[in-house]
Amino acid sequence: MSDSFEKSANAILSGVVAAGTGVPGVVAVATNREGNLYEGAAGVRTLGGTEPMASDSIFAIFSTTKAITGTVALKLVEDGALDLDAPARLYAPEIGSLQVIDGFDPAGAPRLRAPRREITTRMLLLHTAGFGYDFFNETYNRLATDHGQPSVITSSAAALRTPLLFDPGERWEYGSNIDWAGQVVEGITGRRLGAVMKDMVFDPLAMTDTAFTLSPSMLGRLATMHARDPEGVLTPMTDFLLPQEPEVHMGGHGLYSTALDYTKFIRMWLNDGMGPRGRVLKPETVRMAEQNGLGNLKITGLPGVIPSLSNAAEFFPGMPKSWGLTFMINEEDAPTGRPAGALAWAGLANLYYWIDRRNGVGGYWATQILPFVDQASVQGYLDFETAVYRHVVQATA
């Protein structure tokens, strides 16, 4: 790692903490195929507190959980246990009873009908099965407010039993698809998703700080969730904790982890599926997963339907983007230096990562702030990614 990169990265982290509308604390890690290029932390775990943020601080990683669930599903495909194009109900029977919602009748009751085709696990991994999130979709938000549909944050089985927003396979919509993919994994293995992840991903990658339930050690390093109001003021949400004895291990958002652990997962993708303690995926599976799975469909921006949870969200506005198994793919070179064909995604509490297999670099940026697309968090992340390309990739080209 060059001194210029370390100084630049340190300045980005300290700057985003020191800014008047910045973040309480942040961790950022960059890696290449061999190991970490940078491990940095700045600020505190709780606004107004004294415990410093550290590289091993624990975060609720929200939707950065998704790629780990997708990896387990891909491993089951390799093992011959999962057919991505078979009806998902063969593995998770309840999904076969869900109907499509065609609006509401004059009395406000949902209009439901049978779907025109079956949901497959491939559709779940691609977000084309028909599911959404209440904080990104007005129909789901109405079901929550008027009909008591539980939030996915409850980690309950009832939260999964939502109607489909459209017939499976017709378009891309970001939602609880990967939670259902987790149910497919459980149906095939007969085990809880967290246990399968441990055997197939965490142990081979030496990820010792990643789980659905916090260990005492993890709890002692937990970063506090914060809420930013419309005026930019942050308030610690000291009581926020995802369910610790969850009814459902939510494959779409339920994990706790560290930036250091997640970077091990990123490095496995950079290394064609190989981890320090053994292979996770075959190289041909990795190459398949990084391809556009949507055909001519494109992913769309996400409207901020519940302002306390998310602002409107779109990465690199105006740039065409597709989806693989299970990542966003930018189809043009990004202004940060990230090349076309790279993989990336994010978590609701302003966690962001990218995986650039062409150049063999990636990184993870972790904060704990709601709503999603927090301006200070996003800009800090983009500045960090840009610094990696300026000081590491371009310097060695």
CA dist 115 and 123 (Å) reads 14
Which tokens in the block code for residue 113? 């009908």
Active site residue 8: no
| Residue 38 among the catalytic residues | no
**Angstrom distance (rounded) from CA 39 to CA 54:** 9
Nearest Cα to Cα of residue 348 among 323, 378, 369, 320 = 369
Annotated active-site residue in 8, 57, 63, 310: 63
The answer to whether the Cα torsion of 145, 146, 148, 150 is positive or negative is negative
Return d(Cα 286, Cα 74) in angstroms, integer.
9
- Residue of 174, 256, 262, 389 marked catalytic: 174
Q: Is 174 a catalytic residue?
A: yes
What is the spatial distance between Cα 165 and Cα 99, in angstroms, rounded to a whole number? Answer: 9
Question: 38, 57, 66, 176: which one is catalytic?
Answer: 66
In the structure encoding, which two tokens stand for residue 172, read together? Answer: 């891309």
Q: Which residues contact 80 (CB under 8 A, 6 or more apart)?
A: none
Chain length of the chain: 397
Dihedral in degrees, nearest 10, Cα atoms 242, 245, 246, 250: 70
Q: Which residues contact 304 (CB under 8 A, 6 or more apart)?
A: 135, 136, 310, 311, 312, 313, 371, 372, 373
State whether the Cα torsion 210-216-219-221 is positive or negative.
negative
Helices of type H across the chain: 3-18, 66-78, 121-126, 138-147, 157-160, 177-189, 193-197, 216-219, 259-270, 283-289, 375-388, 394-396
Q: Report whether 204 contacts 277 (CB < 8 A).
A: yes
Catalytic site positions: 63, 66, 174
